[in-house]
Structure 1
Amino acid sequence: MTSEDLDVDRYLSRIGLVGPVEPSLEALGSVHTCHLLSVPFENLTVHSGGRVSLDIRRLYEKIINRRRGGFCFENNGLFSWLLVKLGFQVTLLSGQVKNYITGRYGPPFDHLILMVNLEGRRWLCDVGFGAPGFSVPLSLETSGLQQQGHRVYRIRKDINMHFLEWQQEENKGADGDWREIYKFTLEPRCREDFTEMCQYHQNSPSSFFFCKSISTILKPGGRLSYIGHRLITTTFPIGTEMATTTTRELKEDEIPGVLAEEFGIVLDSPLIPKDETITPPPVMY
């Protein structure tokens, strides 16, 4: 595949949009949300005998032509290409994810995120994080609450470091229980900077992506997630209701059909389902 084979309209069709799309805040929100509703966050290449590549042509072939998904380096990597082609000013940023085992942060380049500068304002975009992720871009111009449906986020700044925080599925306002998701600076990065961490997440027993086979996708009103031998359905709260979660145990021969029917994923090689305990990483950050 050559660069001429990468077609913007085909990408837009993959996420359920019809071009042309002009660079505006409304358009940025639309492509961001539609991407999350259409492209799974998944690492199944790692668990079916393949290797993840950061090459844009290979990402396009996988996500657009083969209708797969990917983890952050793939989804946000290809999404950045789309935004640039649509006329947006995009900067790649390095994120460090809060580790729920150690309570500390991962190393630099642990997570690939995007900043879009539009009409003098900066927006955080991320279509490659999974369940805690936000559905529309977040403003980098405020540290105040940013509500998205039943969820609320904020971006707290401490000197040059920014901290993305949320209240999970509860919105209790400024005095609620804030939990950190990841931290990042606004220093521009390039795709090659993430190569080492992309390899790490495919090989390390301290990486969630190595230890567990996963796929998750945003749905209107909820989220659907596959992990190992489980299919988890989350329904977002409405009004004063709480979020509900149901889990279905899957037999191994059921998994390919579930992936195809629920996530649109058809693998080239047999999947080895995995849901192993993660080895705590060294506490360094």
Structure 2
Amino acid sequence: MTSVDMHVDAYLSRIGFSGSPSRSLHVLRSVHTCHLLSVPFENLTVHSGGRVQLDPPHLYEKLVLQRSGGFCYENNSLFAWLLTQMGFQVTLLSAQVKNKTTGFYGPPFDHLVVMVTLDGQHWLCDVGFGGPGFRTPLSLDTRGPQEQGHRVYRITEQRNESSGMLFLEWQQEENRGEDGDWTEIYKLTLDPRRMEDYAEMCQFHQSSPCSLFFCKSLCTILTPEGRLTYIGRRLTTTTFPKEGSVLETSTRDLQDDEIPGVLKDKFGIVLKSPLIPKDEPMTPLPVIY
């Protein structure tokens, strides 16, 4: 385990937050967006000969000092540490992501998300998801549509005798009102979790052909105009629609020797070991969740 010192000011500087770190909803929203604009969602460690480690000092060294990124267990757990240090009341939650191809959910602890309780209200934070992710925290107390730019999200509830299950939904890159077509992103409960609860699934995502992160080398980051996404040997630029315009995407193929430069110039990531580009189909899970 590394003995690196962890400093809130350095973390805030890393994500470009320059305001007063007060415990307020405005600050929570701001640091959430700043993180998404600065720290990539990526799994490049898995495809460059390394293993993901979840102890906070290691994550701080990787994401803050080395200015790299990570997947949900890394981004969201370190973000939870930051919020705790800033005085927020933080709870780790377990989510299960819905596979767009199979229509089934991943196993429990498939995804780590963060709940912040502030002035009696509950907010869902997620800086470790990628394309469908929301820019600012969503209210967990609201069941109606929550608009964010051209997108709209909502959280619905399903209860049975034993527990409550919440579903995060969106209308993809459109906002067609409350009666539009909603697509599920992931489901979660509000049961508090600990970091050690995610250890088994963290290993699964680094080694299983049923995991997106094992099958594809990827890196994506939110930009002021849209999103940049690298997968395998492709780079996709997405420009979000503004008033009077439509969503635009462009993709270009990459040669292997181009990829390190693209990762450095577009995402700010310099790998310590050579990357092996990968883009293989996932094997369906043997168990349906």
Deviates more, 1:96-105 or 1:41-50: 96-105
User: How many equivalent pairs are there?
Assistant: 284
Counterpart Cα distance in 1 of 2:58 and 2:198: 16
Deviations 1:101-157 (A, max 9, x none): 221111110000000000000000000000000000000111000000000000001
Moved over 6 A (4+): none
Please name the residue that 1:201 is paired with.
Answer: 205
Q: Secondary structure at the match of 1:262?
A: helix
Counterpart Cα distance in 2 of 1:8 and 1:155: 31
Counterpart Cα distance in 1 of 2:51 and 2:19: 32
* Alignment of 1:81 onto 2:81: yes
Contact 1:41 1:217 in 2 (8 A): yes
Please name the residue that 1:241 is paired with.
Answer: 245
Deviates more, 1:18-27 or 1:155-164: 18-27
Please name the residue that 2:187 is paired with.
Answer: 183
How well do the aligned residues superpose, as a CA RMSD in angstroms?
A: 0.9
Please name the residue that 1:264 is paired with.
Answer: 268
Contact 1:83 1:90 in 2 (8 A): yes
Please name the residue that 2:98 is paired with.
Answer: 98
* Alignment of 1:123 onto 2:123: yes
Counterpart Cα distance in 2 of 1:182 and 1:134: 12
Deviations 1:182-203 (A, max 9, x none): 0000000000000000000000
Matches within 5 A, 1:144-159: 144-159=144-159
Counterpart Cα distance in 2 of 1:72 and 1:11: 17
Please name the residue that 2:143 is paired with.
Answer: 143
- 1:269 Cα shift? 0.1
> Which amino acid is the alignment partner of residue 227 of structure 1?
I
Contact 1:12 1:19 in 2 (8 A): no
- 1:2 Cα shift? 3.0
Q: Secondary structure at the match of 1:107?
A: coil
Contact 1:9 1:18 in 2 (8 A): no
Contact 1:104 1:283 in 2 (8 A): no
Matches within 5 A, 1:10-49: 10-18=10-18, 20-49=20-49
Deviates more, 1:14-23 or 1:54-63: 14-23
Please name the residue that 2:254 is paired with.
Answer: 250
Please name the residue that 1:2 is paired with.
Answer: 3
- 1:20 Cα shift? 4.0
Counterpart Cα distance in 2 of 1:154 and 1:107: 22
- 1:19 Cα shift? 5.5
Counterpart Cα distance in 2 of 1:209 and 1:93: 20
Counterpart Cα distance in 2 of 1:58 and 1:52: 9
Counterpart Cα distance in 1 of 2:125 and 2:244: 29
Please name the residue that 2:222 is paired with.
Answer: 218
> Which amino acid is the alignment partner of residue 213 of structure 1?
S
Counterpart Cα distance in 2 of 1:179 and 1:283: 22
- 1:240 Cα shift? 4.3
Deviates more, 1:100-109 or 1:50-59: 100-109
> Which amino acid is the alignment partner of residue 60 of structure 1?
Y
Q: Secondary structure at the match of 1:174?
A: coil
Counterpart Cα distance in 1 of 2:20 and 2:181: 42
* Alignment of 1:280 onto 2:284: yes
TM-score of the aligned structures, taking structure 2 as reference length: 0.97
Contact 1:101 1:280 in 2 (8 A): no
Deviations 1:2-34 (A, max 9, x none): 36x100000000000136401100000000000
C-alpha distance 242-19 of structure 1, shift in aligned 2 (>3 A): closer
Counterpart Cα distance in 2 of 1:242 and 1:179: 20
Q: Secondary structure at the match of 1:81?
A: helix
Q: Secondary structure at the match of 2:178?
A: helix
Partner residue of 2:165 out of 161, 165, 190: 161
Runs of 5+ in structure 1 lacking a partner? none
> Which amino acid is the alignment partner of residue 86 of structure 2?
L
Please name the residue that 1:113 is paired with.
Answer: 113
Q: Secondary structure at the match of 1:34?
A: helix
* Alignment of 1:230 onto 2:234: yes
